[in-house]
Chain A
Amino acid sequence: MLRISLPLRLQLSLVIVVGCAFLKPNAWYWLGAYGAIALLWACLLRVPIRKLTGLLGAELIFLSLLALPLGWERASFLLVRSLICLITMNSFLLTLPPHSFGIALKSLPLPRVLKENLLLAGQYIEILVGEVTRMQRSAQLRGLNGPAGWLRYASAAMIGTLYLRSLERAERVYAAMEVRGYNGQLPTDGTLRPKERFAVAMMCAIALCLTVASYTNFGF
């Protein structure tokens, strides 16, 4: 994996995704250019192909349910564009060291409250998943085996229990964070170095050219 700092990785991924999202509909050549950039990005980050394809498959099923009723011509462009955005963001997510999303997030020019909430939500999803696993295990111990058994166990009370158990753990984690000096700000440096700023500026320029060009003809 290339030694690219987390804030730089996040910012470059976002520039590709935002640029691709603003492409003119049915601008296939320009979408192809973004596709090539996304694949290059995935290769640079050396994303595990098996994991990436598994994630993409699951995400594309949901997307196709939304897009296909619009007709094949329109849906195909929307799906390919979504696929490129997903390759870019999944490549970033799958090569992210654990618990380091907040470090990447700190470099984004977002309001502090929103960034703090994003950070806490990201962190507490892990707690939530941990609680779900524990509850699944206790359901299995009660003889409710397999996904069908687990679903029979699911109810509003179980969702409520999950919320409360996760909240108790989240409060403990937050208290520990406060004891270690957390005050809503991550104790890490989220600013970019001059070379990294240049790389982000270059990527912004490329994305801007591609997206603006899709609204002009330039022979296509």
Chain B
Amino acid sequence: MHIPDGFVSLPVAAATGLVSVVGLGIGMGRSQDAFGIRRAPVLGLTTAFIFAAQMINFPVAGGTSGHLLGGTLAAIILGSPWAGMLCIATVLIIQAVLFADGGITALGANIFNMGVIGVWVGWSLTQTLQRLFGGYKGRLPLAAGIAAGISVVVAAIACAIELALSGTAPVNIVLPAMTGVHILIGIGEGLITGGVLTYLMTARPDLLPGNQQEFKGWVVPVVSILLIAGVLSLLASAWPDGLEKVAENLGFIKLGENVRVSIPTPFADYTVNGNEGIGTSIAGIIGSIVCFGVAFGIAKLVRPNNA
């Protein structure tokens, strides 16, 4: 997801750079308060660890490969998204300056995608899911794993939007492509994050945050999810997905129509009454509410009795 030089336009690079600098400025102040001199090795080593982990690419489908982003993992180990942001930003600066991995001119965009969005989405979702799971510490790896996976996809969506705004690629091509690949990378990210946290919880539980009993601050994540579902759904490609395209090319798409039983559905093709504009947004928001309700129900079911 490291954007090289020449992929983002000057306005996009400047805007993302400004947001990243402001975010890092606040993060530096907050990290100094949170850490002091005693916890400095944890911050330094976690940065080195994420740097090393990002060098190991794992293969995903379609001849591409992915690597750990580590934003959620860093924020949880360090116990602060501000410090997590600082950690990922340091990794990205080292990679851009010393290894030309990610452009110097795109450094702001890369820090924004992976260091700001990746860390904050991962951290906020972990907090929300952890509370939904009853605040039980044993559920932290599961919550963090899911959150880490989703944070990678959200960061990829942000990256795709930046590339589209820069005129590098049309949004209807770059958004589904980036999202599709990063869903697979997100699964890897989730598994590694959850696995490492499970181990750390057994070996060094003092490194991880403690139990959280109260369910607070749900408004921001819920509203964010609804906004994403409502706004980003408008950008979704109308082109056929991989299977549909193959079916069209090979001429077997009509086979499905032969056995299709017509059931009236209110949100067919992700629209309301065939209205592709606001109808898609409504379908996205309602879909998110239903998913949230199902997840909440599952969380209630798996919640331990003593939590």
What is the interface size of chain B, counting residues whose CB is below 8 A from a CB of the partner? 49
Cross-chain contact B191 with A78 (CB below 8 angstroms): no
A213 to B44 CA separation, bound complex (whole angstroms): 41
Assess whether A183 is interfacial by the CB under 8 Å rule: yes
Q: How far apart are A114's CB and chain B's nearest CB, in angstroms?
A: 7
Cross-chain contact A128 with B52 (CB below 8 angstroms): yes
A184 to B40 CA separation, bound complex (whole angstroms): 9
Contacts A21-B105, A117-B87 known; A86 to B100 CB distance under 8 Å? yes
Chain A interface SS verdict (over half):
helix
A124 to B45 CA separation, bound complex (whole angstroms): 6
Cross-chain contact A17 with B4 (CB below 8 angstroms): no
Q: How far apart are B70's CB and chain A's nearest CB, in angstroms?
A: 11
Chain-A contact segment, one of B120-128, B198-206, B273-281: B198-206
Cross-chain contact A167 with B196 (CB below 8 angstroms): no
Assess whether A135 is interfacial by the CB under 8 Å rule: no
Cross-chain contact B41 with A125 (CB below 8 angstroms): no
A122 to B52 CA separation, bound complex (whole angstroms): 11
A75 to B285 CA separation, bound complex (whole angstroms): 40
Chain-B contact segment, one of A45-53, A156-164, A197-205: A156-164
* Residue of B2, B100, B191 with highest tally of chain A CB at under 10 A: B100
> Could you give, for residues 83-99 of chain A, a 1 whenever the CB lies within 8 Å of some chain B CB and a 0 otherwise?
00110010001000000
Cross-chain contact A22 with B105 (CB below 8 angstroms): yes
A-B pairs with CB below 8 Å: how many?
151
What is the interface size of chain A, counting residues whose CB is below 8 A from a CB of the partner? 55
A151 to B4 CA separation, bound complex (whole angstroms): 30
Chain B interface SS verdict (over half):
helix
Cross-chain contact B104 with A125 (CB below 8 angstroms): no
Cross-chain contact B41 with A113 (CB below 8 angstroms): no
For B94, the chain A residues whose CB sits under 8 A away are: 118, 121-122
A198 to B24 CA separation, bound complex (whole angstroms): 31
Look across to chain A and name the residue whose beta carbon is closest to the beta carbon of B195: A156
Assess whether A81 is interfacial by the CB under 8 Å rule: yes
* Residue of A93, A166, A178 with highest tally of chain B CB at under 10 A: A166
For B43, the chain A residues whose CB sits under 8 A away are: 117, 120
Cross-chain contact A164 with B203 (CB below 8 angstroms): yes
Q: How far apart are A10's CB and chain B's nearest CB, in angstroms?
A: 10
Cross-chain contact A93 with B98 (CB below 8 angstroms): yes
A17 to B101 CA separation, bound complex (whole angstroms): 13
For A166, the chain B residues whose CB sits under 8 A away are: 45, 48-49
Cross-chain contact B203 with A167 (CB below 8 angstroms): no
Contacts A89-B99, A93-B98, A183-B37 known; A125 to B51 CB distance under 8 Å? yes
Cross-chain contact A170 with B97 (CB below 8 angstroms): no
13 interchain pairs (CB within 8 A)? A77-B6, A78-B5, A82-B4, A121-B47, A121-B51, A124-B47, A124-B48, A128-B49, A128-B52, A163-B196, A166-B49, A170-B44, A174-B44
Binding site for B on A (CB under 8 A): 14, 17-18, 21-22, 25, 59, 62-63, 65-67, 74, 77-78, 81-82, 85-86, 89, 93, 111, 113-114, 116-125, 127-129, 155-157, 159-164, 166-167, 170-171, 173-174, 178, 183-184
Binding site for A on B (CB under 8 A): 2, 4-6, 24, 28, 31-32, 37, 40-45, 47-49, 51-53, 57, 64-65, 86-87, 89-91, 93-94, 97-101, 103-105, 191-192, 194-196, 198-200, 203-204
